[in-house]
Structure 1
Amino acid sequence: MAQRVVVPEPERRRRRPTKQGVVLSEQLIVETAIRLVGQQGAAALSVRRLGLALGADPSAVYRYFRGTDDLLLALADEMVRRALDGWASSGQWRTDLRDLGMRMHAAYLSHPQVALLAAHRTTGRVHETRAVEAIIGVLRAAGFPDTDLARIHGSFADLGLAFAALDAAALALPPAAAEADRTAWRDTYPRLDAQTHPNIAATAHLLTRETSRSAFPFALDLFLDALVARLSLQQGPPTTSVPTG
C-alpha cells in the first residue's frame, strides 16, 4: 500500500453511499478492517480486500489513511479506545491500574489476529495518549515520584501488551496445534517419572490446571504487589505524634 497524502476531514467524506448503501468513514473502515483481519489474518489488510468488503473503489481508502501502516496504527488505537470505554477512576490506585490492565488485555484478546499485528505498536494517537495520561495520573496520585513514572508506566504497559500478544498467538493457533499443546500438558507431563522429574510429578495436576488459562491476572497482581511494596518503602513508616506536657 503506497504512501499517500490523506485528504483533510471536511473534504474526504464520501457524500454518495457505497454499493452496499453505507457512507464511508474512518471508523467504518477501521471496524471493517478489524473484522477482515479476524477472519483472514494479516493478508486481509489490503486496499483491494477492504474495497470489496466496503463495496467501494479501493482507492477511496487512501482518502482516510496514508497506507497500510497508518491503518494498522488506527486499529491499535481502536483497541485502546475499546479498553477505555466506560472506564472511570475508583480513587484506589491499585484497583485502577488492575482494571486498566485487564481491560487492555481483554480488548486485544477479543481480536487475537489484531493483537498479533498491532499490540507492539506505538500509535501516538488520541486514545493511546489518553491511556498514557490516565496511567501516569493514577501513579502520580498514588505518590510515586516523577522520576519513577516512565519506568513504571513502561513496565505496566509492556506486561499487559506482551501477555496480550502471547495469549493471542495461542488463540490464533490452528485447532490441531492448539490441541497438541493441550495434550502435552494434559498427558505428557503427568506421566513423567517421579524419579527423574520429582518436582513436575508433585505439581503436574496444578500445571495442567494453570496452563489452561492465561497467567496474566496473576502476573499483573504480582507486579502491582511489588509496586505497593515499593511505594511503602519510598514513603517510609507512618509518623506518630508524641503527646507533650
Structure 2
Amino acid sequence: MSKSSTGKSTNARRGRLPRGTLSQELIIEAAFRVADSTGMDKLTFQALGRELSAHPTAIYRHFRNKDELLLALLDALHEEALANTPPPTDDWAHDLMQIAIHTHDAFLRHPRVGALSAARAARRENEFRTVERKLDCMRRAGLNDTDAARYHRVFADVVLSYSAMDASLASLAPDVREADLRAWKTDYLALPADRYPNIARIAPRFVRLDDPQNFVTAVRMVIDQIRRRAEGEQAH
C-alpha cells in the first residue's frame, strides 16, 4: 500500500469503495496481500478494510468470520495450483507429480497462508477439482475403489503436510530460518561420534532442509507404492 508525503495511504486518499463494488475475489486478493506482507495474525477484517478502503462490516457480507476467509484462501491456493498444472497425459504417475509440484509451489508463494491451512478442508470448487484429478490418476494407475480412496488420502496428506512444513520454514524470520538451516551442517557435525555413531557417519551427507528434492523424493515414494499396489492387484 503506497503512502503520500503526508503519511496517509493511497487507499485512504481515494476514500471508501462505492457500495456494492466489493466482491469475494477482491477480498481474497487483498487478504493474500495482507497475509503475505504482515502475517496471518495481522489479517483482520479491520486490516482488510484499510487495504480495500472499505468498512470492515462490508467484508462480513461476504465472509462470516476469519475462519471462513481462511478456507477461501486455501481454495484459492488450489485454484492457483490447478491453473499452473499441465493437462492430464497418458502417464498417471507424471500427472500426480505435476499436481504435487504445483500445489507445493502455490503454498510457497503464499507461505504464511500455506503454513496454516494444510489440515483444513476447503469444501469449495477448486478443492473438489483437485481431488477429482488425483482420483482419476489413482484409477488410471489400476487401483480398485477402496485402495484409490486410501492412497488418495495418503498422497494428499503427504503433499499438503510437506507443503505446509516448507511454507512454515519459508515464513520464519530470516535469522531464525538460517539458524535452523545451518544446524544440520554445524551442530550435527560437532556431535561426538562415540555417542552418535550413525549421525557422525551420515551427517556430512545431510541435504539442506529446504532442498526442493526432499519434497519430490517424498512424493515419488508414495507414487512408487501406488504403482506396486496396483501391480499387485493386477497380478491377482
| TM category, shorter | 0.7 to 0.9
Alpha-carbon distance in structure 1 between the residues aligned to 2:216 and 2:172? 22
What residue is the counterpart of 2:194 in the other structure? 195
Q: State which drifts further: 150-159 or 134-143.
A: 134-143
Q: 5 Å matches for 1:91-130?
A: 91-130=90-129
Q: Any residues of structure 2 matched to 1:10-29 within 5 Å, and which?
A: 19=15, 23-29=21-27
Query: Does the 8 Å CA contact 1:44/1:50 hold for their aligned counterparts?
Result: no
- Between 1:190-199 and 1:110-119, the stretch displaced more is 190-199
Could you tell me which residue of structure 2 aligns to residue 46 of structure 1? 44
TM-fit CA distance, 1:102 = 1.1
Instruction: Report the AA paired with residue 46 of structure 2.
Output: R
Once the two structures are TM-superposed, the CA of residue 86 in structure 1 deviates from its matched residue by 4.1
After TM superposition, give the deviation of residue 52 of structure 1 in Å: 0.4
**For 1:90, what is the secondary structure of its paired residue?**
coil
Cα-to-partner distance string for 1:8-43 (whole Å, 9 max, x where unaligned): xxxxxxxxxx73778422111101101101112122
CA RMSD in angstroms comes to 1.9
Distance 2:140 2:202 in 1: 41
Task: Give the aligned partner of residue 9 of structure 1.
Answer: none
User: Which is greater in Rg?
Assistant: 1
Give 1:198-213 correspondences, 5 Å limit.
Answer: 198-207=197-206, 209-213=207-211
1:36 corresponds to which of 26, 34, 37? 34
The answer to whether structure 1 residue 76 and structure 2 residue 74 are counterparts is yes
**Among the aligned pairs, what percent are the same residue?**
37
Deviation at 1:171, TM superposition (A): 1.2
1:11 corresponds to = none
Aligned-partner residue type, residue 211 of structure 1:
L
Q: In the aligned structure 2, how far is the partner of 1:143 from the partner of 1:19?
A: 58
Structure 2 gap segments, 5+ residues each: 1-13
Count the aligned residue pairs. Answer: 219
2:140 alignment partner in structure 1: 141
Q: CA deviation at 1:212?
A: 4.2
Measured in 2, the distance between the counterparts of 1:212 and 1:55 equals 38
- Give the gaps of 5 or more residues in structure 1: 1-17, 238-245
Measure, in 1, the Cα distance between the counterparts of 2:179 and 2:138. 42
Name the amino acid aligned to 2:156: A
Code of the aligned partner of 1:42: M
1:150 equivalent in structure 2: 149
CA contact (8 A) 1:77 1:128 kept: yes
Opposite residue 31 of structure 1, the aligned amino acid is E
